[in-house]
Amino acid sequence: MRVASLLPSATETLFAFGVEPVGTSHSCDHPPAARELPTLTSTVVDHEDRSASDIDAQMRDVDGAVYDLDEGRLAALEPDLLVTQATCDVCAVDAGEVRAAAERLDPAPDVLALDPHSFADALDDVVRIGEAVGEAAAADALRADLRERVDAVRERAERAVADEGRPRTAVLDWTEPPIRAGHWVRDMVELAGGDPSFQPDGPSEPVAWADVRAADPEALAVAPCGFDRDRAVEAVGDLADRPGFDELRAVRRDRAYAVDGNGLFNRPSHRLVDSLEALFGCLHPDHAATPPAANDRVARVSRDGSEAASPSVRADGG
């Protein structure tokens, strides 16, 4: 089957099944082999080496579509199946546009539009993709492995919560303006042994800095959408410039982290389980199999927003 993936998370999952797409989106970068495939989308927004505030300003100035689909190249690739998404209007080509483009092709490919809104939805999509591309057995095997890993985190989290309680947790997927991560992130915080009440029960949404300060999280994870670990550290600098950042309990307790949002949290693929394991390490480092510092996608940050030199968890809260 010839599959075109317009969604990074779907591309990751297809490769996990041993299925190489005939074409991908410009954002598909994992595994590295995905970068070598024909690109079917583009964007008018320049993300390269741009700050969170600059990218936000560009998004606000766009008059028309943020993403474009190369229908000519798509037609030349003759896909049997197009995989896209309907979850986020600012993350990929609009699902309606993809369906319309598919109908203009001859023959018209099938369209699988993924729309996960919870952690369970994202893992269930592993099976949906597998079934759609004739890899149901591989999908079931991967889903079973993921379930075992999730159960292992859940068991560790139960022990950690019994010992330490649930830390008030804040996960941000943008910094200028601050945006609290929604969809599957609330579920992940709860599974990882945190208090998820700060996260929206729905899509990601802007949050006033005053509300972040009022929540006074005991653990803070900043995972800007599309940013790798180093750019996430830079983005934390945006927050550090705001009044009261160094007074947040998470910052004072050395439980503030910059996270590779591009590889963790942002994409609802099977790698969300990697994200769950990393989040548990951030919330309960004393109970984690490996500390957050052992994960090269996570950096602990200091009171000035810079990357901290070494892990140091203080039990006194001060």
- The predicted pLDDT at position 313 comes to 38
Q: What is the pLDDT of residues 251-302, one digit of tens each?
A: 999 999 999 999 999 999 999 999 999 999 999 999 987 767 668 899 999 9
Please, are residues 79 and 14 in contact by the beta-carbon 8 Å criterion?
Answer: no
Token couple for 234: 């830079």
pLDDT per position in the chain (318 positions), as tens?
A: 999 999 999 999 999 999 999 999 999 999 999 999 999 998 656 567 677 777 666 556 555 456 789 999 999 999 999 999 876 555 567 778 888 889 999 999 999 999 899 999 999 999 999 999 999 999 999 999 999 999 999 999 999 999 999 999 999 999 989 999 999 999 999 999 999 999 999 999 999 999 999 999 999 999 999 899 999 999 999 899 999 999 999 999 999 999 999 999 999 999 999 999 999 999 999 998 776 766 889 999 999 888 886 444 333 333
Residue 42's pLDDT is what?
A: 80
**What pLDDT sits at residue 95?**
77
pLDDT at res. 96? 81
Q: Which domains does the chain have, with CATH numbers?
A: 3-115 (3.40.50.1980), 138-300 (3.40.50.1980)
H, E, C per residue of the chain = CCEEECCHHHHHHHHHCCCCCCEECCCCCCCHHHHHCCECEEECCCCCCCCHHHHHHHHHHCCCCCEEECHHHHHHHCCCEEEEECCCCCCCCCHHHHHHHHHHCCCCCEEEEECCCCHHHHHHHHHHHHHHCCCHHHHHHHHHHHHHHHHHHHHHHHHHHHHHCCCEEEEEEEECCEEECCCCHHHHHHHCCCECCCCCCCCCEECCHHHHHHHCCCEEEECCCCCCHHHHHHHHHHHHCCCCHHHCHHHHCCCEEEECCCCCCCCCCCCHHHHHHHHHHHHCCCCCCCCHHHCCCEEEECCCCCECCCCCCCCCCC
